[in-house]
Structure 1
């Protein structure tokens, strides 16, 4: 299920091979879903503890904690998963040296080959105790490594988005920008039009999104006054 495939134990009949095909796909999906939910829960709990630890000198309420988490959510997740991954690597190395009697280099090599799902097969869990441990350790460590790479990529994307937002907010408006922001072509740009234009520059929304929202607004604005009222909503719902 973890795509490691040491090669020491394999199906040897047509029936078991077909069963293995079904089991691998369904098992990977199910285990991945369950463990990812568990990982998210643990990471969120660790985020809260980390923020409290960073602000031990001052009182931090639930609202401040949530705000801090949302601001640096991906970064905290990346740190937490990295710490958990290092812990799993150390645990796996220790177990292989104690239970499987590997030397430290071979144990670390086997750990790296396993959690990256390479599974060369030259080094693997062979004792009963080691294999029982590996059932839980391999599932957890391979998923943890995958989540770590996912969070690193997400962190880089988030940093890039923040740079774009910073550039957009610091850039001076020009006459061309003013014309593009003037959605109703009345020669002036209101606060709503300005916000929409900036969001488009940041890549948060696009012209298609704006057009769809304006179309919905026009369908609700029955009296064509340019504003919405309860009377408009009543007429729109009855028509």
Structure 2
């Protein structure tokens, strides 16, 4: 179910092969959902712990001008979340820890040399699994059944955070370019939604959000349709009377 497949133990009858097919297809999704939820829960607890620690210990050290504390490089206190660089660091740290634990168990339990232990640990955690090395002892296999599930999920989470970091970096670069880009005649015509010859502040904000990719034309149309539904008087405004009328 971890997609490794050492090849040391394989089904050798039609019944066991059919069972393996059903077990992997059903169990893979079930275990993935279960363990992914567990990993997300642990990471959320860890994130909340870091946030509370920064808020409690960093309030006395806040910069008067910028409002940044000693942990602001890792924690975005204003948004109430970890910075992506912190998530990447923690995820990679967990991967390294899993590799180290696996290498240690293989050395002392499976009686492999340190190089072979590290080799097998890395090949297992990264789900490569050549099959030239595998767990052979009963205790080693019991350990691997738990260790591999956690380790492969940690690797997947690390790659997810790395991808998120790249997307975040590209989004920040795009936002910087959009905000620093002067409005052209073509931009003006595109931003003038109601074609009245001038661009209001709300129209300018919507146009810039569309340029940044933070809102799409479909989203704007849906929001406008919802507004039109609430604006029963077709006056371009939502009054308290309109709101109460829609509720009834």
TM-score by length of structure 2 reads 0.84
Q: Distance in 2 between matches of 1:80 and 1:34?
A: 21
Which residue of 2 is the match for residue 18 of structure 1? 18
Q: Distance in 2 between matches of 1:87 and 1:54?
A: 28
Aligned positions of 1:130-141 closer than 5 A: 130-141=140-151
The runs of 4+ residues in structure 1 deviating greater than 6 Å are none
Deviations 1:93-139 (A, max 9, x none): 01111111111111111111111222222211111111111111111
Question: Aligned-pair distance for 1:224?
Answer: 2.4
Secondary structure of 1:184's aligned partner? coil
Which residue of 2 is the match for residue 44 of structure 1? 44
Q: Tell me which moved more, 49-58 or 90-99.
A: 49-58
TM-score by length of structure 1 reads 0.87
Q: How many residues align?
A: 235
Does the 8 Å contact 2:95/2:155 carry over to 1?
Answer: yes
Question: Aligned-pair distance for 1:184?
Answer: 1.7
**Of the two structures, which has the highest relative contact order with CA contacts closer than 8 Å and spacing of 6 or more?**
1
Question: Aligned-pair distance for 1:12?
Answer: 1.5
Q: Distance in 2 between matches of 1:175 and 1:55?
A: 51
In structure 2, the gaps of 5 or more residues are 63-68, 70-74
Please state which structure has a larger fraction of its residues in helix: 1
Relative to structure 1, the CA distance from residue 126 to residue 75 in structure 2 (aligned partners, 3 Å threshold; closer, same or farther) is same
Does the 8 Å contact 1:181/1:193 carry over to 2?
Answer: yes
Match of 2:97 among 77, 82, 87: 87
Relative to structure 1, the CA distance from residue 236 to residue 69 in structure 2 (aligned partners, 3 Å threshold; closer, same or farther) is closer
Which residue of 2 is the match for residue 34 of structure 1? 34
Does the 8 Å contact 2:210/2:217 carry over to 1?
Answer: yes
Match of 2:235 among 221, 225, 232: 225
1:96 paired to 2:103: no
Q: CA RMSD in A?
A: 2.5
Q: Distance in 2 between matches of 1:173 and 1:131?
A: 64
Q: Distance in 2 between matches of 1:58 and 1:224?
A: 50
Relative to structure 1, the CA distance from residue 179 to residue 71 in structure 2 (aligned partners, 3 Å threshold; closer, same or farther) is farther
Relative to structure 1, the CA distance from residue 183 to residue 71 in structure 2 (aligned partners, 3 Å threshold; closer, same or farther) is farther
Question: Aligned-pair distance for 1:202?
Answer: 0.4
Which residue of 2 is the match for residue 189 of structure 1? 199
Q: Distance in 2 between matches of 1:31 and 1:237?
A: 44
In structure 1, the gaps of 5 or more residues are none
